[in-house]
Chains A and B, each alone.
Chain A
Amino acid sequence: MSSPIRVLLAKVGLDGHDRGVKVVARTLRDAGMDVIYTGLHRTPEEVVHSAVQEDVDVLGISLLSGAHMTICPRIMDLLREQDAEDTIVVVGGVVPDDDVEPLKKMGVKDLLLQDTPPNQIVETLQRLVAERGPR
C-alpha cells in the first residue's frame, strides 16, 4: 500500500479568509491524506520552510487578498533555492482569470478557485501526485 499523500495548506500574508482552506483541509483529511495547516498570517519563508521540513507532496496556498502575484513568485523562488521544486504547488481562493496563465507559467500546477466541489479537489491532487510519480 502506498503511503498517504502529504499536504501542507498555507495562508500567506495578511489575508484572514480561512473558510475555504478549512473546508479543503477537512476534505483532504477525510479522503485519507496527511494534512498540515499552517494557520494564518505566515510569510513565504515560513511556509517553504515547513513544506521542506515536513517533506510534503503538495503545497496548497490559499489567497483571497489579491496579493497572489507578489506572494506566489516568492514561494516558487524559495522552493527552488531549497531544492524542493518537485513540491506540487496548487493555489486556491480568488484569482482573476488573467492571472491564471502567468501563475501556471511560474510553476503553479493548478488553481482551485471558489466553488470548486470538494471531490474535484481530491481528484486533482491525486492526479497531480500520480503524474509526478514516486520520489
Chain B
Amino acid sequence: MNAPTDPKHVAALQQQLELWEKDEVASFLKKQPEREDQFQTHGGFPVKRTYTALDVADTPVEDIGLPGQYPFTRGPYPTMYRSRFWTMRQIAGFGTGEDTNKRFKYLISQGQTGLSTDFDMPTLMGYDSDHAMSEGEVGREGVAVDTLADMEALFDGIGLENISVSMTINPTAWILLAMYIVLAQERGNDLNRLSGTVQADILKEYMAQKEYIYPIAPSVRIVRDCITYCAENMKRYNPINISGYHISEAGASPIHEVAFTMANAITYVEEVLETGMDVDAFAPRLAFYWVCQSDFFEEIAKFRASRRVWAKIMKERFGAKKPESMRLRFHCQTAAATLTKPQYKVNVMRTTVQALAAVLGGAQSLHTNGMDEAFAIPTEEAMKIALRTQQVIADETGVANVIDPLGGSYYLENLTTEYETRIFAILDEVRERGGTIKLIEEGWFQKNISDFAYETALRKQSGSKPVIGVNKYVESEENVDIETHPYDPDTAKRQIDRLRHVRATRDETKVQKLLDELLVIARDESRNIMPITIELVRNGASMGDIVEKLRTIWGTYRETPVF
C-alpha cells in the first residue's frame, strides 16, 4: 500500500480533495443532484463519494499483508486459485438415499468437484421417518436418513477418499458423522484420508436457523466431542462449519453475520480448550461458512475482514502458534433470500454477481443457488445452470489468475478495516454483557437479527431497497412457465420400509445394551460421545433411537421467541 505517511503528502492530498469537492463536484451538483443524499451499504455503512489514499492511512500495511501470510486478509493460501479453483460444491438432497445418489452422480458428471448433502427436516431434527412429527416431511426438503443403510445408499459408488463431502446437519450432526465413519470403515477407507465437513454448528441454531433438540450445554458438549474426536482420528476432516449463512438468512446484517459467528467460534474454542487439548491440535480444522449477499464490495470486505479478525483472535487471544490455526477457510453460498419468484430467471444474474464477489473474496468452496429456489428445491436443470455459472467465472473471466485482485482498492481496504473494527467492538459488547450463551438465552442475538429483518422488509416496501421484479420493473401479469422439482409421494413408504427392515434384522438386545451405555457416557461430561455412537449406528440403531434415549436425560429446548 502507498498509504501516505509523510505529513506533507497528507496535507497535499487533503487540499486536493477539498478543492475537488469545491470545484468539480460542486459545479456538477448544481446541474444535477446525486441519486441519494447519503449512500450506504446494505449493512448500513455510510459510503463516501470516492475514496483516496487518505482512507487507508489508518490501516497498517502489515494488516493487509500478502496471501497466505498472517493476518491472511488477502487469502488463506499463497497461491489460491492459481493452483486449484475453489471447490464447486452444489448442495443436493431429496427423497431417499438412492434418489439423492443419482443427483450426486449427475453433478459429478457435470464437473462438480465436491459434494454437499441436504437432509430432510425429520433427519435434521432427529426424528425417524415413521415418527408422527415426520408426516409430510420425509424426503421433501432433503434426503431422509434414519440408519446406516440409508447412508450406504446415499454414497453408493462414490469413493469417499476421492471427493470431499459436506453434510449440512446440526443437532444430529454427530450421529450422521458416526454413520459416515462406519460407512468408510466398512469400505476399508483410512479415516485420516477422508476430507469433508459436517456443519455441527449448534449455537447459530439457537440464534437463527432454529434446528435444535437439547438445551444449550449438552448440545455444545456434543460439538466439543466431534471436534476432539476428529482432531485425533480424522486429520483432514472439518468437524464443524461455523456458519454465518443462516444468521444472515434469518435477517441479520452482514456485520452481525460475522460478529455473531465469531462469538460462536470463540465459545467452541474455549469449550475444547477446557478438555486440555492444545489449540494448535484442533484449530486448523475449524471451518467457516458465509453467505454472499448482493452488496458486491461490502461482501468482499466482509470476507477479507473475517480472515483478519479470526487470525488476530487465534494468535492474540488463544495463543495459537501454527499459521494453519489462524487462517480462516470458508465455504460460501449465494443468498437464497435474495431470490425472487417474479421474473425468476433474473435470479441467475443475482447469483452470478454474488458468486463473483465470493470468488474475489477468496472462498474455498462455493454453492450457487438455483434460479427456481423461490419455488421449491431446485431441479436438475436449475442446478446445472448454477454450476455452469461457477465454471464461467473460473474458466472464462480470468479473475482467478490474480490473488485478491481488489486488494489495495482504497474503498475496499477502508471498508475491510471498518468491518474489522466493528466486529471487535461487537465481540467486546458480547463479553461485557455476559457472553454468548447467556445472550442467546436472553434473546439478544435473536432480537438484533429480527430488528434488521424488519427494517429490510420496510425498506423493500418503501422501495428504498430495490428488488427487480418485486418493487421495481414489476410485471403485473406474469405468465410463470416453470417446471419445479417433483415430490414422489411414495418416498415416505420406501423410506419407512427400509427403516423397519433394519429394525427387524438387527440384534435388538445388543442395541438396547448400547443405548444404556450411551446414557452412562452422556451423563459423564468428561467422556466423548462419539465412540459409543459409532458402535450404535454400526449395530443398526436409528437416529431416532439415539435422540430419544438422550432426551430422557437432557430434555428438549424451547425458546422464548422475541420479535
Pull 30 A–B residue pairs with CB atoms less than 8 Å apart, ordered by A.
A13-B136, A13-B137, A14-B124, A14-B127, A15-B121, A16-B210, A17-B210, A18-B210, A18-B561, A19-B450, A23-B251, A23-B453, A23-B454, A27-B454, A66-B137, A66-B141, A66-B376, A66-B487, A67-B136, A67-B137, A67-B140, A69-B136, A70-B135, A71-B136, A96-B375, A96-B376, A115-B341, A117-B460, A118-B461, A119-B461
Q: Which residues, 108 to 156 on B, are CB-close (under 8 Å) to A?
A: 121-122, 124-125, 127, 133-137, 140-141
Q: Contact partner of A22 among B209, B558, B560, B563, CB < 8 A? A: B563
Q: Contact partner of B453 among A16, A19, A69, A119, CB < 8 A? A: A19
Q: With A115-B467, A118-B461, A119-B461 in contact, do A16 and B376 touch (Cβ < 8 Å)?
A: no
Q: Which residues does chain A contribute within 8 Å of B136, judged by CB atoms?
A: 13, 66-67, 69-71
Q: Contact partner of A37 among B140, B205, B249, B561, CB < 8 A? A: B561
Q: Which residues does chain A contribute within 8 Å of B286, judged by CB atoms?
A: none
Q: With A22-B450, A26-B563, A66-B376 in contact, do A118 and B141 touch (Cβ < 8 Å)?
A: no
Whole-angstrom distance between the Cβ of B548 and the nearest chain A Cβ: 15
Closest to B122 in A: A14
A31 part of interface (Cβ distance < 8 Å): no
- Residue contact B209 to A39, C-beta cutoff 8 Å: no
- Residue contact A13 to B121, C-beta cutoff 8 Å: yes
A89 part of interface (Cβ distance < 8 Å): no
A84-122 Cβ-contact flags toward B at 8 Å (1 or 0): 000000000010110000000000000001110111000
Q: Which residues does chain B contribute within 8 Å of A40, judged by CB atoms?
A: 210, 559, 561
B402 part of interface (Cβ distance < 8 Å): no
B interface majority secondary structure: loop
A25 part of interface (Cβ distance < 8 Å): yes
Closest to B123 in A: A14
B480 part of interface (Cβ distance < 8 Å): yes
Q: Which residues does chain A contribute within 8 Å of B558, judged by CB atoms?
A: 39
- Residue contact A14 to B561, C-beta cutoff 8 Å: no
Residues on B facing A (Cβ under 8 Å):
121-122, 124-125, 127, 133-137, 140-141, 205, 209-211, 249-251, 337, 340-342, 374-376, 450, 453-454, 457-458, 460-461, 467, 470-471, 480, 484, 487, 558-561, 563
Whole-angstrom distance between the Cβ of B261 and the nearest chain A Cβ: 17
- Residue contact B561 to A23, C-beta cutoff 8 Å: no
Q: Which residues does chain A contribute within 8 Å of B563, judged by CB atoms?
A: 22-23, 25-26, 37
- Residue contact A97 to B480, C-beta cutoff 8 Å: yes
A114→B347 CA distance, assembly (Å): 15
Q: Which residues does chain B contribute within 8 Å of A23, judged by CB atoms?
A: 251, 450, 453-454, 457, 563
Most buried by A among B125, B137, B374: B137
A65→B118 CA distance, assembly (Å): 13
Q: Contact partner of B374 among A17, A22, A26, A94, CB < 8 A? A: A94
- Residue contact A113 to B341, C-beta cutoff 8 Å: yes
A16→B122 CA distance, assembly (Å): 12
A119→B461 CA distance, assembly (Å): 8
- Residue contact B484 to A96, C-beta cutoff 8 Å: yes
Whole-angstrom distance between the Cβ of B347 and the nearest chain A Cβ: 13
- Residue contact A66 to B140, C-beta cutoff 8 Å: yes
Closest 3 CB pairs between A and B?
A70-B136, A16-B210, A67-B136
A67→B491 CA distance, assembly (Å): 14
- Residue contact B454 to A26, C-beta cutoff 8 Å: yes
Q: Which residues, 120 to 135 on A, are CB-close (under 8 Å) to B?
A: none
Closest to A70 in B: B136
Q: With A14-B137, A66-B137 in contact, do A22 and B458 touch (Cβ < 8 Å)?
A: no
- Residue contact A14 to B460, C-beta cutoff 8 Å: no
A115→B342 CA distance, assembly (Å): 10
Closest to B461 in A: A117
- Residue contact A19 to B137, C-beta cutoff 8 Å: no
Q: Contact partner of B457 among A14, A39, A118, CB < 8 A? A: A118
Q: Which residues does chain A contribute within 8 Å of B210, judged by CB atoms?
A: 16-18, 40
Whole-angstrom distance between the Cβ of A63 and the nearest chain B Cβ: 10
A1-45 Cβ-contact flags toward B at 8 Å (1 or 0): 000000000000111111100110111000000000101110100
Q: Which residues does chain B contribute within 8 Å of A113, judged by CB atoms?
A: 341
Whole-angstrom distance between the Cβ of B456 and the nearest chain A Cβ: 9
Q: A40-B561, A66-B141, A69-B136 are in contact. List 15 more A-B contacts (CB 8 A).
A: A14-B125, A15-B121, A16-B205, A16-B209, A17-B210, A18-B561, A19-B249, A19-B251, A22-B251, A22-B563, A67-B121, A96-B376, A97-B480, A113-B341, A118-B461
A19→B449 CA distance, assembly (Å): 9
A14→B560 CA distance, assembly (Å): 17
Closest to B210 in A: A16
Closest to B212 in A: A16
Q: Which residues does chain A contribute within 8 Å of B560, judged by CB atoms?
A: 39
A25→B454 CA distance, assembly (Å): 10
- Residue contact A14 to B376, C-beta cutoff 8 Å: no
- Residue contact A115 to B340, C-beta cutoff 8 Å: yes
Whole-angstrom distance between the Cβ of A42 and the nearest chain B Cβ: 11
Whole-angstrom distance between the Cβ of A1 and the nearest chain B Cβ: 26
Whole-angstrom distance between the Cβ of A33 and the nearest chain B Cβ: 13
A14→B374 CA distance, assembly (Å): 20
Q: Which residues does chain A contribute within 8 Å of B133, judged by CB atoms?
A: 13-14, 43
Q: Which residues does chain A contribute within 8 Å of B457, judged by CB atoms?
A: 23, 27, 117-118
Q: Which residues does chain B contribute within 8 Å of A17, judged by CB atoms?
A: 210
Whole-angstrom distance between the Cβ of A20 and the nearest chain B Cβ: 8
Whole-angstrom distance between the Cβ of A36 and the nearest chain B Cβ: 11
Whole-angstrom distance between the Cβ of B83 and the nearest chain A Cβ: 38
Q: Which residues does chain B contribute within 8 Å of A70, judged by CB atoms?
A: 135-137
Q: Which residues does chain B contribute within 8 Å of A118, judged by CB atoms?
A: 457-458, 461
Most buried by A among B121, B342, B374: B121
Most buried by B among A69, A113, A115, A119: A115
A37→B341 CA distance, assembly (Å): 27
Whole-angstrom distance between the Cβ of B382 and the nearest chain A Cβ: 15
Q: Which residues does chain B contribute within 8 Å of A114, judged by CB atoms?
A: 341, 374
